[in-house]
Amino acid sequence: MSATAARSDLSFLREIGIDGVQDGAYAGEWIRCSGEELVVRSPATGEEIGRVRQAGAAEYERAVAAAHAAFLRWRQLPAPQRGELVRRVGNEIRRFKDPLGRLVSLEMGKILQEGLGEVQEAIDIADFATGLSRQLYGLTMPSERPQHAMREQWHPLGVVGVISAFNFPAAVWAWNACLAAVCGDVVLWKPSWKTPLTAIAMSKVAARVLEPEGFGAIFSLVIGPDATVGEALTADPRIPLVSATGSTRMGRIVGPKVAARFGRCILELGGNNAVVVMEDADLEMAARAILFGSVGTAGQRCTSTRRVLVHKPVAAKLTERLLALYAKVRIGHPLDAKTLMGPLVDEDAVRATEAALARVRALGGEVLCGGERVRPAGCEGGWYMTPAIARARNEWDVVQQETFGPILYLIEVADLDDAIAQHNSVPQGLSSAIFSRDVRAAERFLSAVGSDCGIANVNIGTSGAEIGGAFGGEKETGGGRESGSDAWKAYMRRQTNTVNYGDTLPLAQGISFDVD
């Protein structure tokens, strides 16, 4: 398919209910919105692909009230029955996987295979959550008092606010929504204003299952400005948990506001992810993992590879191989099957990447390749640039910060201890990896004195987490966890129960309190 053909064919949008101007609020029914009209442009071409009427304060209030009312009924449904409805939502997403994946690619800019992969992630987490609905386990504990039983159980929280970023416009919502739903919660979703059509499409697909069952409002949606919808959501005491994905700057705003009202947060914030490459590494494997980690999604993943900490003896050889691979990266329209790297999301992202490279040069670094704007045929209105590799020093301010674009910093290290020290000396702590054939080096990297990240890998890259494991990071990444393992506990409240089935009232710790 040519870039021009991909650009002009928007007919698939109608398959998922995107046709004409869309309202940006849903809570069991679509709410007519009174806010400013948002023009949605594809980063691939700059062309308009849709319009959304944004929600204001009144529409937000209507949506959150409907969501809370739905929660009062939803929490009474047995968890396996909730899981069955989530399973059916997953199957409906599976049925529309192709058009949903194409929309993700067209609206966000990631290549089609990544767009389809993101929708598959939503399907996978629905399957995971279905099984989880029968495994919301508590504990039993021995009581020190005779004829007493102690146990622990988990109950739903309420309305969960989900704030998602542009780079994963479908999967992040699904991670939260599917787990929250089987836990007995409902979700109020505020997506990025850069990718509202994907949010509307995902909501419409889920509604096909949930509305006939009378539970459309368990997955509610509000698309609107931060100053109205965002502020209201973070300050609303009816929303006991806010799961927010975005920049560290955003987390510094959301976290304190939610904490001030004693709400909870799951924060998935910035990453500054490094791959350590030791002298004994399989360099070809490492180079290919680094390529995908740094170039995939045009470097706009929170798990994108930003830094390579390479052992000096193999630095020249690895650099040579990376330059050869980068030269072969095909840049173009994301729906073109031959494309390996699509556009950045907008002009601001391109400028931020250019500014970071200018800072590298000003500090004395060397840009070895990339960083130029390009205009693929048929995509002249899009935001494209070549992926960059630069020699840098880990302590430079530009390296310490996260630049959401395709820049890879090469940093030489003396040994494993030096690599770990430099790896950990950044404010963020999301994803990390080491390439080595030495089991001792690998285990040291995974130990308490190794990587300080929430994700640490051996002989695979930093990008591409599976839903079975908990996802999240430490330090300025926020400390939250989503997706697999026991991340479900964040969406519930813990309750300890003690039952006295005897005829006396003994007190704990042997305390006597006898008034006779």
Per the DSSP assignment, residues forming a β-bridge with 499 are 149
**Known active-site residue 59:** no
pLDDT in tens, 297-309: 999 999 999 999 9
147 backbone φψ class: left, alpha, beta (φ>0; ψ -120 to 50): left
Q: Which residues 6+ apart lie within 8 Å of 419 measured at CB?
A: 276, 278, 309, 311, 413, 434
Q: Are 398 and 411 in contact (CB under 8 A)?
A: no
Q: Are 24 and 35 in contact (CB under 8 A)?
A: yes
pLDDT in tens, 407-463: 999 999 999 999 999 999 999 999 999 999 999 999 999 999 999 999 999 999 999
Neighbours of 443 (CB within 10 A): 11
Q: Residues 206-210: what's their mean pLDDT? A: 98
Residue at token pair 């500090």:
363
pLDDT at 275 over 60: yes
Q: Which residues 6+ apart lie within 8 Å of 444 measured at CB?
A: 416, 420, 450
pLDDT in tens, 143-194: 999 999 999 999 999 999 999 999 999 999 999 999 999 999 999 999 999 9
**Sheet of strand 241-245, all strands in order from the earlier edge strand to the far edge:** 25-26, 219-222, 186-190, 159-163, 241-245, 264-268
The catalytic residue among 107, 118, 121, 268 is: 268
pLDDT at 3: 46
Per the DSSP assignment, residues forming a β-bridge with 50 are 40
Question: DSSP assignment of 263-284, as one string?
Answer: -EEEEE----EEEEE-TTS-HH
Residue 468 CA: distances (Å) to CA of 129, 132, 175, 327, 486? 10, 11, 11, 35, 10
Question: DSSP assignment of 353-378, as one string?
Answer: HHHHHHHHHHTT-EEEE---EE--TT
One-letter identity of residue 406: P
φ and ψ of 54, to 5 deg: -80, 150
Q: Residues 308-331: what's their mean pLDDT? A: 98
pLDDT in tens, 242-259: 999 999 999 999 999 999
Written as six digits, the tokens of 366 are 């060397």
Number of Cα atoms under 13 Å in the Cβ half of residue 291: 21
Work out the mean pLDDT of the chain and round it to a whole number. Answer: 96
pLDDT in tens, 3-15: 444 455 799 999 9
Q: Residues 209-232: what's their mean pLDDT? A: 97
Q: Which residues 6+ apart lie within 8 Å of 156 measured at CB?
A: 71, 74, 75, 183, 184, 185, 491, 492, 493
Q: Are 134 and 147 in contact (CB under 8 A)?
A: no
Written as six digits, the tokens of 354 are 């250019």
pTM summary value: 0.96
**Known active-site residue 268:** yes
pLDDT in tens, 36-69: 999 999 999 999 999 999 999 999 999 999 999 9
Residue at token pair 């702590």:
429
H-helix segments, 425-470: 439-446
pLDDT at 2 over 90: no
Q: Which residues 6+ apart lie within 8 Å of 268 measured at CB?
A: 172, 243, 244, 245, 246, 302, 471, 472, 473, 477, 478, 480, 482
Of 252, 253, 248, 285, nearest in space to 268 by CA? 248
The catalytic residue among 178, 265, 302, 379 is: 302
pLDDT at 461: 98
pLDDT at 90 over 60: yes
pLDDT at 8: 55
pLDDT at 5: 45
Number of Cα atoms under 13 Å in the Cβ half of residue 398: 22
pLDDT at 382: 97
pLDDT at 513: 87
